[in-house]
Structure 1
């Protein structure tokens, strides 16, 4: 039971850090972007490790329905977004205000959908 709480906590932490990372990339703040980018990456890895541990400890979870596959697809997209932003930061580039707002809303809605899928398991 504690592993599920850890996964949810790490997921919430990653959401907060990724949203802050996007905003700092919008404001073109190199130091803040670096800090939040690294922290977001570390939380992303923690979510991934704990999620894999959950799937390995409970073999039947993969047969619980399509909700898990949808959640994993959204999770993969958000991981790609995190890595994309880190790549941009490494190149010394930032995101525009409009692009940052789109990424912010997409990320926020994606995390809400993942939480709802996990809690409700609708299909």
Structure 2
């Protein structure tokens, strides 16, 4: 049941990620443009040039804020990453289980599993 729920959650996260792929690309491009505009602003010597770069930066910043659907896509990508990492975990992992007994065989199995991982 756990694997089925992880599969359904992963499928939903993948669909959300694919649906928001365009805004995520535009968000990346706009952040890159903001970085370039900031660098050009710092290199500019004239006041008119600095004002021009600030105006252009505000236009690109408004485009960046319009791509807030990309944040949903990033959250879906992170959820998909968590689902994939939890898919590989075994519920009966001997490394996770604590052994309170002094049975040498169970301690050996736990130590052997720790060495192999």
The TM tier, using the shorter chain, reads 0.3 to 0.5
**TM-score between both structures, scaled by the size of structure 1:** 0.36
**TM-score between both structures, scaled by the size of structure 2:** 0.38
Q: Rg larger in 1 or in 2?
A: 2
